[in-house]
């Protein structure tokens, strides 16, 4: 039994000796393990760098797309503003043209109206002048009538010379001119009525 016991111890010692590795083997294994750890760390770092690069590319695409959308929106806003401004200018120009045309028509109509009235006054003045020259009219009455008719004729002439002013750039307003012309024509008519009443 002692023999088996010694044999068992020898076996254990041999097994123990077999299990123990030499120092160079352990260093080699340690270096190999370190190399594997370094390789794993490098691979992990490479993977992380790739993921970061991919994330950066995707972010750049998103930023580029957002910038493109912003540029398109800005361009559309500018285009819309240009179109609105152009339309407003066209509308304002059309309204200005219409206002100018309306003013010019009113000026022409007023000028024609005043000229027609002055033509009638000229005819009446001519008839009254004939009556004033009639030998049957008393000399004092004829002299007074001639003075009034000369004054009326001068006023008609003055009013006729002012008519072209209606169509100048510095023309008074049509309504102001109409009021003044009506007042002056009324004075001329009154003068002619007074002359007529003398005969």
- The reported pLDDT for the residue numbered 168 is 72
- The reported pLDDT for the residue numbered 170 is 63
Residue at 118 is within a domain: yes
Residue at 174 is within a domain: yes
Cα separations (Å) of 76 from 80, 84, 104, 138?
6, 12, 41, 90
pTM: 0.56
- Three-state SS annotation for 24-65: HHHHHHHHHHHHHHHHHHHHHHHHHHHHHHHHHHHHHHHHHH
Residue at 116 is within a domain: yes
- Cβ atoms of 80 and 147 within 8 Å: the answer is no
Residue at 119 is within a domain: yes
Residue at 100 is within a domain: no
How many angstroms separate the CA atoms of 72 and 76, rounded?
6
Higher-pLDDT residue of 41 and 191 is 191
- The reported pLDDT for the residue numbered 24 is 81
How many angstroms separate the CA atoms of 123 and 125, rounded?
5
State the Cα angle at 100 between 163 and 85, rounded to 5°: 160
Residue at 5 is within a domain: no
> What is the residue range of 124's domain?
108-198
Residues, the chain: 199
Q: Which two tokens stand for residue 70?
A: 């912003």
Quote the mean pLDDT of the chain.
86
Residue at 166 is within a domain: yes
- The reported pLDDT for the residue numbered 121 is 96
User: What domain count does the chain have?
Assistant: 1
Contacts of 162 (CB under 8 A, 6+ apart): none
How many angstroms separate the CA atoms of 55 and 47, rounded?
12
Q: Is pLDDT at 15 greater than 70 in this prediction?
A: no
How many angstroms separate the CA atoms of 7 and 9, rounded?
5
- Among 39-53, 88-102, 157-171, the range scoring the smallest mean pLDDT is 157-171
Average pLDDT on 43-61 reads 89
Q: Is pLDDT at 157 greater than 90 in this prediction?
A: yes
């Amino acid at each position: 039994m002692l023999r088996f016991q010694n044999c068992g111890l020898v076996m254990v010692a041999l097994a123990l000796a077999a299990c123990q590795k030499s120092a160079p083997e352990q260093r080699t294994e340690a270096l190999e393990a370190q190399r594997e750890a370094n390789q794993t760390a490098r691979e992990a770092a490479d993977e992380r760098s790739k993921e970061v690069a991919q994330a950066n590319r995707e972010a750049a695409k998103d930023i580029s797309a957002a910038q493109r959308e912003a540029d398109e929106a800005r361009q559309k806003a500018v285009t819309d503003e240009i179109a609105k401004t152009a339309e407003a200018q066209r509308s304002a120009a059309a309204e200005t043209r219409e206002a100018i045309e309306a003013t010019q028509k009113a000026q022409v109509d007023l000028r024609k109206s005043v000229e027609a009235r002055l033509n009638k006054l000229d005819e009446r003045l001519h008839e009254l002048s004939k009556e004033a020259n009639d030998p049957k009219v008393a000399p004092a009455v004829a002299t007074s009538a001639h003075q009034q008719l000369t004054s009326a004729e001068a006023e008609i002439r003055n009013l006729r010379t002012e008519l072209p002013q209606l169509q100048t750039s510095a023309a008074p307003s049509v309504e102001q001119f109409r009021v003044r012309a009506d007042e002056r024509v009324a004075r001329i008519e009154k003068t002619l009525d007074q002359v007529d009443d003398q005969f």
